[in-house]
Structure 1
Amino acid sequence: MAWDASQKIPTLSPAWVDAFLRHRLKKGERWFCSFAYASDELVGVLPTIVVPHPVLGERWPLLHTPFDNETTPSCDILLAPEEAGAALQALLAEAERQAPNHIGLDLKAVRQGSPAWRALQSGSDGYVVHRGRRSMYSFLDVQGDFDTYLGNFSHMGRNLRRFRKKLERLGAVSVEIRKESTADENLLLEFLALEASGWKGRNGTAILNDHNLVDFYTTVARNFAMRGHLEWHAIRVNNRLVAAQMAVQCGATLILLKYAFDEDFADCRPGTLLTEVTLREAFSRSDLDEVNPMSDFDAHRLWHMSSDEYIDIHLVRRSAFPVLLQLPRTLYHEYVRPRIPEAVKVVYRKLKHPGDHKPRRAAEAAQLRQADQETELR
């Protein structure tokens, strides 16, 4: 059911939810999972995290689907499109039985086209529906021919050839694509070491800095590998890993989870070359029609990726007390946040993360390499 879902995201899969419930729950949180059936057919699934209210505690809990900013940017209700309305009502009724005093249910980053939107149009008994934070995540339609797609960019093909030649001057270059039976968790530790060697390691934000994150991605890799849906894309120079990407397949979509590159090779643009490897492979496959990094970075504009809308849905219990408790937050996300100038948001993000050290620029990396060589000559 998750494989065929119109959202085309892996966070609805039991392989992902299992990893989240094992490794991403915070202290004091608990969970339950509800299933809706029409006769013998599964038509709805709602994994739910129960969070004590920050003021009122467990007596008036908050509910949300599995979500956190570090690992799981989107997760909503899994619904069969033809039974979406009835399945939603059944799942909400079960949430009431499992947590009778809950204030509301948050569905995190519901993708445009999700059956949840259609189900909510027919009503949600006992709840007031508010739209919350809006995010735009990139995706690329990979139906067609890669060389034709690349031909739409004025200088991209020439730049890619130049980057490859620079990389080849440094040693023997090899490309690895591991999928289905050849992809497992064994490459994960090498990938994590590569990520930690760069700016994330300097910032203390690499996966290796958090054992819970290591456990989470290990379980994700293992779970998807068991189903034949894990993929690794990598570039090596003289067998040294210089760029790598972890991906999973969900239906006809390839989800790009994490990537890293060796900053010592930054002037060769190994990340750009790895993206070329990934997209060329995706365009060649009949089982894929979309590549989705489930994020929004400037680099995506370089590849002319499109964007799709993901919106938080807040279902607030239809009674005075919950509505009053949730009103400030829903008003902020619905009316205030969309009107904050982008310049103000940029300043806020800089103040929030003042110590970030981004990857070295190509010129800086070349200067450092030259300095190292001069030191060796001395």
Structure 2
Amino acid sequence: MTGIKISCVCYSGLEGFNHLYQEWFDLATSKATHFLHFPGWYQAGLERLDSSKKVFFVAIYSSAGLVAVLPLELVCQRIRSIEVPLLQLFYPNEMGVNDIFTTIDLNPKLQEITQFLRRELPFFALIKWQCISEDRGAALGMPVRLSHSSKYLDFSAGADEFWGGYSKKFVKGLLKKARKAEQLGNLRLECARDTEALEAAFSIFLGVEDSGWKGEKGTSIIKQPEKLAYYKTLLSEYGKARSCQINVLWVGEQPIAAQFGIVAGDTLHLLKIGFDEQFSDVSPGYLILERLVNHLAGEGSINRISFVTGVGWIDRWKPSGVNIGVFYSDNGSWWSKSIIRLIYSRLVQRFLAKQRR
């Protein structure tokens, strides 16, 4: 694949995005392995911007058609008291992760792509690839500055093997919570993927997420019109790709926990989790996860649940993690390389200072 010839086309702002949308959607529907590979994620972000004129979508083609899309944004970053213009991945989310949708190895093509960007876009001193995985950075030949991890549970070996990795005390604790919940009513999990079922499940999800302190403080999705519109776009876009999944845990006729997720490849990415605090004594967040693992392991098409960056309570489940970091590449000039050396020297100094504390 490294010897293939590529060509690049730059699509600017929302109007350009709309031109690229359909072929990007078609490719993502068949090849996406991450929820950030779908155009719907960026559409939801673009709709929240006052102006999208500094956002660019670089489509990369081979003789076979579209093979990669780079969503980029022109910004300024202060480096040693100097405002430096740079390109960074367009980052319309609060999830703390990013990825690049490509079906080819981009590393051998990075210089060619950078030259195209210098010709077609306003001046930029360097490219910042923020919040991408360590593996993705290595694939692009970039040094690593790690910041956090993206946590996930892997049950590809089956439910029995998965639960065998936990202490008897942990598993018994889950069973005890389930029995306590079942005293209140039949405990059941519902997973919605079809369009009609998704609409109903979304309303239930919003209600569960609004319960408790989030609703009282006005920080729930339904209490924030802009965020509600954002999630409605995600629901619509991922729903038509049959990639949106909403899970609801019921006790009798009462929903006590709900999850908003996106399926890509063999992974269910949980973007939002909510539970009814009236049932906190049975740990509904734990119970819905326990039921979901068993359901998905039995079904077989999904082998991993990602918490994207992760919440503190999931650490008791001993999740695996993908290292996430920030990476930089130059624009091909010697002074751009010098800026990057300066950035990394500062990062090294900060790291050493922390070690001496």
TM range (shorter): 0.7 to 0.9
Distance 1:165 1:327, change over 3 A: same
The alpha-carbon deviation at position 304 of structure 1 amounts to 2.5
Determine whether 1:293 maps to 2:307. Answer: yes
SS of the equivalent of 1:76 reads: coil
Query: Counterparts of 1:1-378 in structure 2 under 5 Å?
Result: 2=28, 8-23=33-48, 25=49, 30-52=54-76, 61-67=85-91, 70=94, 72-81=95-104, 83-114=105-136, 117-120=138-141, 131-153=144-166, 154-180=168-194, 183-317=197-331, 319=333, 330-336=344-350, 340=354
State whether residues 131 and 325 of structure 2, in contact with CA within 8 Å, keep that contact through their aligned partners in structure 1: yes
The separation in 2 between residues aligned to 1:308 and 1:35, in whole angstroms, is: 27
- Evaluate the alpha carbon distance shift between residue 2 and residue 311 of structure 1 in structure 2; reply closer, same or farther with a 3 A threshold: farther
Distance 2:206 2:343 in 1: 37
- CA separation of 1:108/1:281 partners in 2, compared to 1, >3 Å: closer, same or farther? farther
Identify which range, 43-52 or 324-333, moves more after superposition: 324-333
Aligned length: 327
CA 1:320–1:112: 2 relative to 1, 3 Å = closer
* 3-state secondary structure, aligned to 1:187: helix
- Which segments of 5 or more consecutive residues in structure 1 lack a partner in the other structure? 121-128, 345-378
For 2:42, the aligned partner's letter is V
- 1:325/1:112 Cα in 2 relative to 1: closer, same or farther (>3 Å)? closer
RMSD after superposition: 3.2
| Greater mean deviation of Cα atoms: 225-234 or 95-104 | 95-104
Structure 1 position 236, deviation (Å): 2.0
Please tell me whether the aligned partners of residues 180 and 229 of structure 1 are also in contact (alpha carbons under 8 angstroms).
no
Deviation of residue 2 (structure 1)? 4.5
Tell me if structure 1 keeps the 8 A contact 2:330–2:337.
yes
The verdict on how the C-alpha distance between 1:29 and 1:52 changes in structure 2, with shifts beyond 3 A counting, is: farther
Q: In 2, Cα distance between the equivalents of 1:13 and 1:331?
A: 35
Q: After superposition, give the CA deviation of every residue in 1:294-343 in whole Å (9 maximum; x if it has no partner).
A: 123333332232111122112244557666777775544454158537xx
Distance 1:302 1:226 in 2: 35
The answer for the alignment partner of 1:369 in structure 2 is: none
What is the SS of the residue equivalent to 1:314?
strand
Name stretches of at least 5 consecutive residues in structure 2 with no aligned partner: 1-26
Once structures 1 and 2 are overlaid, which stretch shifts more, 266-275 or 165-174?
A: 165-174
User: Greater shift after overlay, 175-184 or 278-287?
Assistant: 175-184
Aligned twin of 1:376: none
**What's the CA shift string for 1:269-310, capped at 9, x where partnerless?**
111101112211221233223221112333333223211112
Alpha-carbon distance in structure 2 between the residues aligned to 1:275 and 1:304: 13
Deviation at residue 10 of structure 1 after TM alignment: 0.8
Letter in 2 for 1:175: L
